[in-house]
């Protein structure tokens, strides 16, 4: 799917979200140098444009953290300990985390309580736009 078409589709899914200003390019570069995986290209495009957002998507609620918060919030949640192999980038503000699978950059969801100790992560999409589509269709 072309970048322009992906962006048009993304805009449809995020139209009701309160979007942040664009990410500082230097902060984004530092963030990308500090992580041990490559996020989906369409997520990076989103962060470049909005650096996080919050609101309703379909019947769901979505909080996407800003790039400057991501590493600290993952440390605060002890994601490396409890969700090894995943990197959290947002939540529904109701106990559900949204995360990247570090192996293939797909997107999954799991509950913050118990963080994968008892349950498997639920696949939400191979990239960011498919993740948005997944939430929108719930």
CATH of the domain at 124: 3.40.1580.10
Q: How far is residue 50's CA from residue 48's CA, in Å, rounded to a whole number? A: 6
Per-residue pLDDT tens digits for 51-84: 999 999 999 999 999 999 999 999 999 998 888 8
Q: How many domains are there within the chain?
A: 1
Q: How far is residue 60's CA from residue 75's CA, in Å, rounded to a whole number? A: 26
**What interhelical angle do 128-137 and 3-14 show, nearest 10?**
30
- Range of 68's domain? 3-137
Output the CA–CA distances (angstroms, integers) from residue 117 to 34, 99, 108, 124, in the order listed.
26, 15, 15, 19
Per-residue pLDDT tens digits for 90-119: 999 999 999 999 999 999 999 988 776 667
What letter does residue 120 receive in the DSSP assignment?
Answer: P
């Amino acid at each position: 799917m072309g970048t322009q078409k992906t962006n048009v589709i993304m805009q449809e899914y995020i139209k009701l979200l309160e979007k942040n200003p664009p990410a500082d390019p230097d902060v984004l570069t530092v963030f990308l140098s500090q992580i041990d995986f490559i996020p989906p290209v369409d997520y990076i495009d989103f962060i470049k444009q909005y650096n996080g957002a919050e609101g309703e998507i379909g019947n769901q609620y979505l909080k996407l953290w800003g790039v400057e918060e991501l590493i600290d919030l993952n440390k605060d949640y002890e994601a490396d300990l409890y969700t090894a192999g995943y990197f959290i980038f947002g939540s529904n503000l109701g106990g559900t985390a949204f995360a990247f699978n570090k192996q293939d950059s797909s997107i999954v969801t799991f509950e913050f309580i118990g963080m994968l100790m008892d349950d498997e992560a639920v696949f939400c999409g191979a990239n960011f736009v498919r993740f948005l589509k997944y939430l929108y269709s719930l």
